[in-house]
Amino acid sequence: MTNTSTLSEAIRPATIAEQARRRRTFAVISHPDAGKSTLTEALALYASAIQDAGVTHGKSSRHGTVSDWMGMERERGISISSAALQLEYRDTVLNLVDTPGHADFSEDTYRVLAAVDCAVMLIDAAKGFEPQTVKLLEVCKQRGLPIVTVVNKWDRPGLDALGLIDQIGERTDMVPVPLTWPAGIAGEFEGLLDVRTASSIALEAVEGGAQPARETTIDPADLDPHAAQVWDVASEELGLVASSNGDFDAEAFAAAQQTPVLFAAAARNFGVRQLVDLLVDLGSAPTPRVTADGAHRPLEGGFSGFVFKVQAGANTAHRDHIAYLRICSGVFERGMVITNSRTGRPFATKYAHRVLGREREAVEQAWPGDVVGLVNATSLRVGDSLYQDEPVTFPEIPHFSPELFVTVRAKDPGRYKQFRRGIEQLDHEGVIQVLRSELRGDQAPVLAAVGQLQFEVAEQRMRTEFNAPVALEQLSYTLARRIPAAPSSLPDSFRGGEILRRSDGECIAIFGDRWKLGHFADAFPDVTLELIGA
């Protein structure tokens, strides 16, 4: 076994601080179909992580993006799991944690946002702000994350640029400050005015968007009057916004009071380089992480991190489990033995990988801000804090309050072992909440979800990964509450609801509606009910 203390002592705190300054750990958030997976792929292209983007004719015909690996994602053209990609650009390490692109998986997105230092908010130029965008924005604001706003799909007909800027300001409560501005209305994207370089850049797609866009710096005064007018209008519009919203302020951006705005067409790689440069130059580097007791873990302190996602099934040949670990302090070295603060037990990191879609490579060393995939991590759970030498516990990642409930049973009783193993695995990953009671027994647990698609994913994975087809039966419950100290006399069922337990030991009461919740409060006045995740 590797002597981890000796390894870590050889690395100076100044080296850790320097490596942390090189990191940018961020997530891309958006409403479904705003182009998030396409942008993720374009970023990987600019960082030379892939040879071509494969985006030439839209989702239906392109090969799967590097961050979408699950079968259902490829079939439906949406992201329903998160993936961590590490890219290098201009001597900076970009840790891009992709998020689910469907509202039904907002709990998974919340976990991802707990692990990043800033967010890129993607808006469809034709649709503007959409409900899921607003929900994710609220989560970002709760966490105080700086937000870069990207107006995507400017190569298609859409809304007015000035109107979109007003909308961004109204919906975010942040001051939008454009750092690029489009030459040409939506659908006629000719180029960009780059505020940071004070240049006019004509854009041309290469190989239909499979390669980085061709950029040519021009002087609009040299163009014919008709072509020059497009750039003159763009300059006038940019001037109007600048006179109203002011110049970019790095401190206001870091404090989530101002959001820089970029215009792009990710499918053609227009405006993507400007986004990567912005993240490198102005993006947030890791800072000391707040611990559960309100202290701050110094970046240069002993190794620490927390698990924000557990995933299985990415490698069907091995059926392994990967726990995604956000490193908060110190240095990670493969082979080190770290401690799980939840259990107090050691965990050996012999198998540590960096993941790019389905592809992996071993990680020998990683620094604050990096995301490491710990393989065969069956003992780890979402929210676990891991450390070496100096104990630390980071704040818990709360569950979302479920709104949909079903019972799940094995269609073939002879496959009960596979059924039980599959349900435990889905629970372990946090794909869905699993609730049990003595009344229902282990053969018919209750699955609780935020959205219907979670049930579909659970059913498909039970059938394909565990060879245990299941039958789901909808329950008429719509509300859930946590009971922090449930008395032993509390019955398993009551009028309009029942009591179940989550695998973490939490007692959960579920109700048909608010009226039934009120009846429960009247019948059991001494029982405290709390919102889940509050």
Mean pLDDT of 355-360: 62
What confidence category does residue 6 fall into, taking pLDDT thresholds of 50, 70 and 90?
very low
E strands, 273-320, in order:
289-290, 296-297, 304-312
Residue 67 scores a pLDDT above 60: no
Percent share of the chain, pLDDT over 90? 66
The span from the CA of 243 to the CA of 450, in Å, is: 43
Q: For residue 256, what pLDDT is reported?
A: 94
Residue 341 scores a pLDDT above 50: yes
Domains and CATH numbers, the chain: 4-10+289-387 (3.40.50.300), 23-282 (3.40.50.300), 404-523 (3.30.70.3280)
Main-chain phi, psi angles of 14, to 5 degrees: -65, -35
Lowest-pLDDT choice from 127-131, 345-349, 370-374: 127-131
The span from the CA of 359 to the CA of 520, in Å, is: 51
Residue 519 scores a pLDDT above 90: yes
Mean pLDDT of 7-17: 76
Say if strands 180-183 and 446-449 run parallel, antiparallel, or are unpaired.
unpaired
Q: Is 36 helix (H, G, I), strand (E, B) or coil?
A: helix
Lowest-pLDDT choice from 63-67, 184-188, 396-400, 470-474: 63-67
Encode pLDDT of 224-236 as tens digits: 999 999 999 999 9
Amino acid type, 132: Q
Do residues 290 and 306 touch, judged by C-beta distance below 8 A?
no
What confidence category does residue 317 fall into, taking pLDDT thresholds of 50, 70 and 90?
low
Q: For residue 265, what pLDDT is reported?
A: 97
Amino acid type, 144: G
Q: For residue 484, what pLDDT is reported?
A: 92
What confidence category does residue 176 fall into, taking pLDDT thresholds of 50, 70 and 90?
very high
The span from the CA of 290 to the CA of 21, in Å, is: 18
What confidence category does residue 2 fall into, taking pLDDT thresholds of 50, 70 and 90?
very low
Helices assigned H by DSSP within 430-513? 452-464
Instruction: Return the residue matching tokens 């409060």.
Output: 521
E strands, 291-351, in order:
296-297, 304-312, 321-329, 332-333, 337-340, 346-348
Q: For residue 7, what pLDDT is reported?
A: 47
What confidence category does residue 81 fall into, taking pLDDT thresholds of 50, 70 and 90?
very low
Of 96, 56, 99, 95, the closest CA to residue 79 belongs to 99
Other Cβ atoms less than 10 A from the Cβ of 261: the count is 26
The span from the CA of 341 to the CA of 411, in Å, is: 39
Residue 251 scores a pLDDT above 60: yes
User: Which residues neighbour 320 within 8 Å (Cβ) at sequence distance 6 or greater?
Assistant: 312, 314, 375, 376
pTM of the model: 0.83
Concatenated DSSP letters for 336-357?
Answer: -EEEETTT--EEE-SSEEEEET
**DSSP, res 294:** S
Encode pLDDT of 152-163 as tens digits: 999 999 999 999
The span from the CA of 432 to the CA of 273, in Å, is: 37
Q: For residue 149, what pLDDT is reported?
A: 97
Residue 95 scores a pLDDT above 90: yes
What confidence category does residue 463 fall into, taking pLDDT thresholds of 50, 70 and 90?
very high
Q: Give, rounded to a whole angstrom, the gap between the first and last alpha carbons of the chain.
A: 42
